[in-house]
Structure 1
Amino acid sequence: MYRLLLLILFVTSTFYSLAQIGGRYVYSFLDLNYSARNSALNMPAVPVYDKDIFNGLSNPSLINPKMNNFLGFTATNYLADVAYGSAVFSRTIREKYYGLAGVRYINFGKFTLADEYGNKNGEFHAGDFALNLAAATLLTEKLSTGASINFIYSSYESYRSSGLAIDYGLTYFDTSRSLTVGLLVRNLGFQLFSYTGENAEPLPLDVQIGFSKKPEHNPLRFIVVAHHLNIPDFAYPNPAKKNYDLNGNVIASKVPLSEKIFRHFDLGGELVLSENLHIRFGYSHQARKELQVSTRPALAGYSWGFGLRISKFHISYGNTIYHLAGGSNTFSLTANLSEFTRKKGK
């Protein structure tokens, strides 16, 4: 399996290097938060090695035997009545080998089809879809590796596109110390067919390092993710803040080094009150700086939520605040199907 993972990464990176044409990214829906926990912490991938099946959807190296026979669903009410969600199932293949299958989708809704003169010619829908197949294995007792392949399909009126994306993860975990440290490469891939049939466009590649730690006898788990490490200069000057010289010329503004560094970090925390109740909160400096209204920043970039268990179901809610105009509300439901099967003799 190790040789297979290396081969997949090599082949995909080769195609990716050939696809750096166009100057923008496609399939940005891959960067959304596809679980209530992700939404509450405001990070697309949560570096915690536990039984949360949605962690395996975002980071394949987090797939583990605790997820065996778990099924999960997520639904998000996004901005402007856009809706997206996911479904995922995990199964232990054999000892030290674990598999996962999932789907992610976003539905932009129904639009009016009109010509250049404003004449209405009907309606159309727009949306994106990704099928995820993943596998993980244990390299050592505390080191896990995993990879997933995403088959992507996108449709906007008469424009269609498809592509492939690979996620690869390497995670060190120590459950006795409630410690997880991981490396994740997301969205390493290419377009099979572009929207216009011309040059392929790059995918939103994201290299991350994540860390989580819950100190002993402390209910608070600290989570830190450094994202987009493949793009060192991740900040850009705010066009709304302009300075002028004595001749009325615009002075090019510069983003301080500290600001460039901090925009790479997402911070989160989980208050583990019991096995059945978690309170979560997060902060994304990038989201706050890019989405806030300068005169009324409010809580842009902040997020919160909770997770609780009721009977055999795990229910989670996450609220991510993007802007004064609103945010997203995400609900997740997971269950271990093994708990619904009757034991022999009953």
Structure 2
Amino acid sequence: MRKTRLLLCTCLLISWQFANAQLGGSRAFEYLNLPNNARLAALGGINITSGWYDPGQVTSNPAMLNDTLEHQLVISRLGYFADIANTSVTYVTPIKKYGTWAFHLDYLNYGDIQSFDEAGFLNGEFSVNEYAFSVANSQVFGPFRVGANLKVAVSDLATFQASALLLDVGGTFLHPEKDLTVGFVIKNIGFLISDYTEDNNSQLPTDIQLGVSYKPEFMPFRFSVTARNLVRSDVTFFDPSTNSLFGQNEEPGFGEEIFRRLVFGAELIASPNFQLRFGYNHLLRQELKLENASGGAGFSFGFMFKVKRFEFAYSRALYHTVGGSNTLQMNLNLDGVINKN
């Protein structure tokens, strides 16, 4: 009965969220969409069905939280552009009578930025930071698993601050015999606690995502496809005066509208202790490539290897001819250490 009430309340909250969505304004807290672990970054930046034994994936889909992840600590650092860096920490622990829980912290640091007045004189420097703290839990119903991730997000832009209380709701179906996972996530539903200014009307980065991962029985590859931006009616932008400069004279058609919503990933599972990962994000490629050079925009790759209790992962995502981002991650299994104490 308690689970039924919880599900009903969640559905009402989701319905209210989409009923009150507005077309105008701008979306705040977009940093929540950055890939906060090496697996995500290597698989195209979006993936909700791969990584059952990777605690970092809990923030991507809370339904992937399970008891095999208990006592695991994950530390990840994304080196972004212009010395911007995102640091993530995740820890999974059991709580007596309440199941397995995951605690996660994201901290995005833009560094120190110079401040100038209207006349162009230097006023000093100010800092810009954004961060989010979340708590996740999940429940099992046979081959199905559902989970929720409650988070507080804060954006601190010099003298302007905004905060929000957000909820991710996810579900997965894990095939009982085959290596097949189907999942969905409704991300970042909730409400603003405070906005940057009284007159501002910031929107939340709400999204619905669907995904599937499958590993053929006699192949060392796992393939993934994830659909995102499913709450948006249009994900293409076409300005004839601007696009003609890049040789794009025709407005994107229906096929392009579909393809830009999809993110593709593949993992070469050489052994339980070593993997190679690859991803392709068509939306990123179409939006960031140049006419004569793409710089590999939209492609990403990485690897993972384990040594006893430690797991190390690295990924690189290509965005533009000027370069890309690098992500380093370390997973530490504290199960034996915790039990001994």
Q: Which TM-score band applies after superposition, normalised by the shorter structure?
A: over 0.9
The one-letter amino acid paired with 1:203 is L
Residue correspondence of structure 1 range 61-210 to structure 2 within 5 A: 61-93=63-95, 97-140=99-142, 142-174=143-175, 176-210=177-211
Q: Secondary structure at the match of 1:241?
A: helix
Percent identical among aligned pairs is: 32
- Whole-angstrom distance in 2 between the partners of 1:214 and 1:301: 23
Q: Secondary structure at the match of 1:242?
A: helix
Q: Does 1:304 align with 2:305?
A: no
- Whole-angstrom distance in 2 between the partners of 1:339 and 1:176: 30
The one-letter amino acid paired with 2:189 is L
Q: Secondary structure at the match of 1:37?
A: helix
Partner residue, 1:224? 225
- For each residue in 1:83-131, what CA deviation from the matched residue of structure 2 results, as whole angstroms up to 9, or x when unmatched? 0121111123468943111011211110112211112222110011111
- Whole-angstrom distance in 1 between the partners of 2:322 and 2:227: 27
Residue correspondence of structure 1 range 260-299 to structure 2 within 5 A: 260-299=257-296
- Whole-angstrom distance in 2 between the partners of 1:330 and 1:2: 40
- Whole-angstrom distance in 1 between the partners of 2:225 and 2:56: 18
Compute the TM-score of the two structures, normalised by the length of structure 1. Answer: 0.91
Q: Classify 1:98/1:336 alpha carbon distance in 2 versus 1 (closer, same or farther; 3 Å).
A: same
- Whole-angstrom distance in 2 between the partners of 1:342 and 1:162: 38
Partner residue, 1:248? none
- Quote the offset at 1:3 in angstroms: 2.1
Q: Classify 1:46/1:318 alpha carbon distance in 2 versus 1 (closer, same or farther; 3 Å).
A: farther
Q: Secondary structure at the match of 2:275?
A: strand
Q: Classify 1:184/1:279 alpha carbon distance in 2 versus 1 (closer, same or farther; 3 Å).
A: same
1:46 corresponds, among 33, 45, 48, to: 48
The one-letter amino acid paired with 1:88 is T
- Contact kept? 1:16, 1:189, Cα under 8 Å: no
- Whole-angstrom distance in 2 between the partners of 1:102 and 1:55: 11
- Contact kept? 2:181, 2:214, Cα under 8 Å: yes
- Quote the offset at 1:241 in angstroms: 2.5
Compute the TM-score of the two structures, normalised by the length of structure 2. Answer: 0.92
Q: Classify 1:12/1:229 alpha carbon distance in 2 versus 1 (closer, same or farther; 3 Å).
A: closer
- Quote the offset at 1:216 in angstroms: 0.6
Partner residue, 2:325? 328
- Contact kept? 1:298, 1:324, Cα under 8 Å: yes
Q: Classify 1:96/1:278 alpha carbon distance in 2 versus 1 (closer, same or farther; 3 Å).
A: farther
- Contact kept? 2:47, 2:224, Cα under 8 Å: no
Partner residue, 1:59? 61
- Contact kept? 2:117, 2:123, Cα under 8 Å: yes
- Whole-angstrom distance in 2 between the partners of 1:178 and 1:204: 32
Q: Secondary structure at the match of 2:251?
A: coil
**Larger deviation: 14-23 or 147-156?**
14-23
Q: Classify 1:160/1:181 alpha carbon distance in 2 versus 1 (closer, same or farther; 3 Å).
A: same
Q: Secondary structure at the match of 1:54?
A: helix
- Contact kept? 1:33, 1:43, Cα under 8 Å: yes
Q: Secondary structure at the match of 2:243?
A: coil
- Whole-angstrom distance in 2 between the partners of 1:185 and 1:101: 19
- Quote the offset at 1:202 in angstroms: 1.1
Q: Classify 1:314/1:175 alpha carbon distance in 2 versus 1 (closer, same or farther; 3 Å).
A: farther
- Quote the offset at 1:199 in angstroms: 4.0
Q: Classify 1:27/1:9 alpha carbon distance in 2 versus 1 (closer, same or farther; 3 Å).
A: farther
Partner residue, 2:336? 339
Q: Secondary structure at the match of 1:44?
A: coil
- Quote the offset at 1:51 in angstroms: 1.3
RMSD in angstroms over aligned alpha carbons?
2.2
